[in-house]
């Protein structure tokens, strides 16, 4: 369904849709797939709670956290998303140099493709799980990834730092905790922090990593050789359901069933209540059902 946008938003959306690009910048050179046009549909940055903003595009989310001592960014979309994200950072009153840390959920091109350009332009340190750091350094995951044949290599960021499960990044008044939730990739990581509003208090925000059970053609979740990956999915579903989660954010809005909230927030940011303490558990339930359906389909086809 298409939603009408307020007139004031249209000039900003036009600006975000066509950001200034350096001539043939290898770090922002557009990547193309059957999904990239959808993932680049523009929208403005949206306030969520306290200093947390939902950035990115209409169908591919990133997040910006204002810590009072600099910005923390979660994911950076495609390579061509980086100039858009930098324009959104400017639209909320900050400079790209204010970005101190970039946190990555997974080393796939739709989440990490723009990290190298944003890190170069800001000087930020990129933080991820050890597996993801190694994958970022080489521009993508390896053949162990069940989506390997469907993925594209992306620009490799520099200034990388690994974090352990439960490790904490502290900046200003904000602490962000890494929660490893493997399955979609071996190194998939969710990020949890408190966002505080002076009038309304503090809420726990969880940016949940993708946990969708998808793969390249011919790769079977029901294959005993892949039992470790299937087991890691199920452990991550349980972990996600138990995470503190007043507000759920996801890289792909449909994973958090947030499309309608985003559309409403574009029309009127104050009209949306992002709080839902059941959202993480509900998302984990949907991901579980998705994996169960996929395995049942595979077994029925044998």
Domains and CATH numbers, the chain: 9-301 (3.60.15.10)
Name the pLDDT band for 223 (thresholds 50, 70, 90): very high
Question: Half-sphere exposure of residue 96, counting CA atoms within 13 Å on the CB side?
Answer: 16
d(CA 170, CA 273): 27
d(CA 214, CA 15): 34
57: CB partners within 8 A, 6+ apart: 39, 40, 41, 42, 43, 77, 81, 84
Mean pLDDT of 159-164: 98
d(CA 231, CA 58): 32
Tokens of 124: 């930020």
Name the pLDDT band for 24 (thresholds 50, 70, 90): confident
Mean pLDDT of 216-223: 97
Percent pLDDT > 70 in the chain is 92
Write down the pLDDT at residue 19: 54
Hunting for tokens 């990115």 — which residue is that?
56
Residue 171 DSSP SS3: strand
Write down the pLDDT at residue 99: 98
d(CA 35, CA 110): 9
Percent pLDDT > 90 in the chain is 92
14-18, 98-102, 161-165, 213-217: least confident range = 14-18
Name the pLDDT band for 14 (thresholds 50, 70, 90): very low
Tokens of 41: 């549909």
d(CA 240, CA 251): 15
Give 89-106 pLDDT, tens digit per residue: 999 999 999 999 999 999
Name the pLDDT band for 302 (thresholds 50, 70, 90): confident
The larger pLDDT score, comparing residue 219 to residue 18, is at 219
Write down the pLDDT at residue 22: 54
Residue 185 pLDDT exceeds 90: yes
Tokens of 8: 């004031």
Q: What single DSSP character describes residue 200?
A: T
Give 257-268 pLDDT, tens digit per residue: 999 999 999 999
The larger pLDDT score, comparing residue 296 to residue 3, is at 296
Residue 10 pLDDT exceeds 50: no
The H or E element containing residue 66 is: strand 61-66
Write down the pLDDT at residue 32: 97
d(CA 38, CA 9): 19
Mean pLDDT of 175-179: 98
Mean pLDDT of 176-201: 97
Write down the pLDDT at residue 18: 46
What is the separation, in whole angstroms, between the first and last Cα of the chain? 38
CA angle 252, 288, 115 (to 5 degrees): 30
Mean pLDDT of 282-287: 98
Exposure string for 26-46, b = 16+ CB within 10 A, e = fewer:
ebbeebeeeebeebbebbbbb
């Amino acid at each position: 369904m298409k939603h009408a946008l307020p007139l004031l938003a249209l000039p900003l959306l036009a600006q975000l849709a066509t950001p200034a690009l350096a001539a043939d910048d290898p770090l922002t050179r557009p990547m193309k797939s059957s999904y990239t046009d959808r993932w680049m549909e523009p929208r403005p940055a949206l306030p969520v709670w306290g200093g947390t903003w939902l950035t990115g595009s209409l169908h591919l989310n990133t997040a910006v956290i204002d810590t009072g001592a600099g910005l923390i960014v979660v994911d950076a979309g495609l390579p061509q998303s980086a100039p858009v994200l930098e324009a959104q950072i400017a639209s909320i009153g900050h400079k790209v140099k204010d970005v101190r840390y970039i946190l990555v959920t997974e080393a796939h091109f739709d989440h990490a493709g723009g990290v190298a350009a944003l890190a170069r332009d800001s000087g930020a340190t990129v933080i991820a799980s050890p597996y993801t750091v190694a994958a970022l350094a080489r521009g993508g995951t390896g053949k162990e990834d069940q989506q390997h044949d469907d993925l594209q290599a992306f620009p490799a960021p520099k200034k990388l730092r690994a974090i352990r499960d439960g490790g904490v990044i502290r900046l200003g008044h904000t602490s962000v905790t890494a929660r490893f939730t493997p399955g979609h990739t071996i190194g998939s990581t969710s990020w949890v922090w408190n966002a505080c509003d002076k009038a309304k208090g503090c809420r726990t925000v969880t940016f949940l990593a993708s946990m969708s059970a998808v793969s390249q053609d011919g790769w079977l979740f029901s294959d005993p050789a892949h039992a470790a990956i299937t087991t890691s999915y199920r452990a991550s579903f349980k972990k996600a359901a138990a995470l503190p989660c007043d507000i759920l954010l996801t890289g792909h809005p449909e994973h958090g069933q947030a499309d309608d909230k985003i559309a409403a927030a574009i029309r009127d940011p104050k009209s949306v209540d992002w709080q839902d303490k059941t959202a993480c558990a509900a998302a984990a339930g949907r991901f579980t059902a998705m994996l169960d359906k996929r395995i049942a389909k595979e077994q029925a086809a044998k």
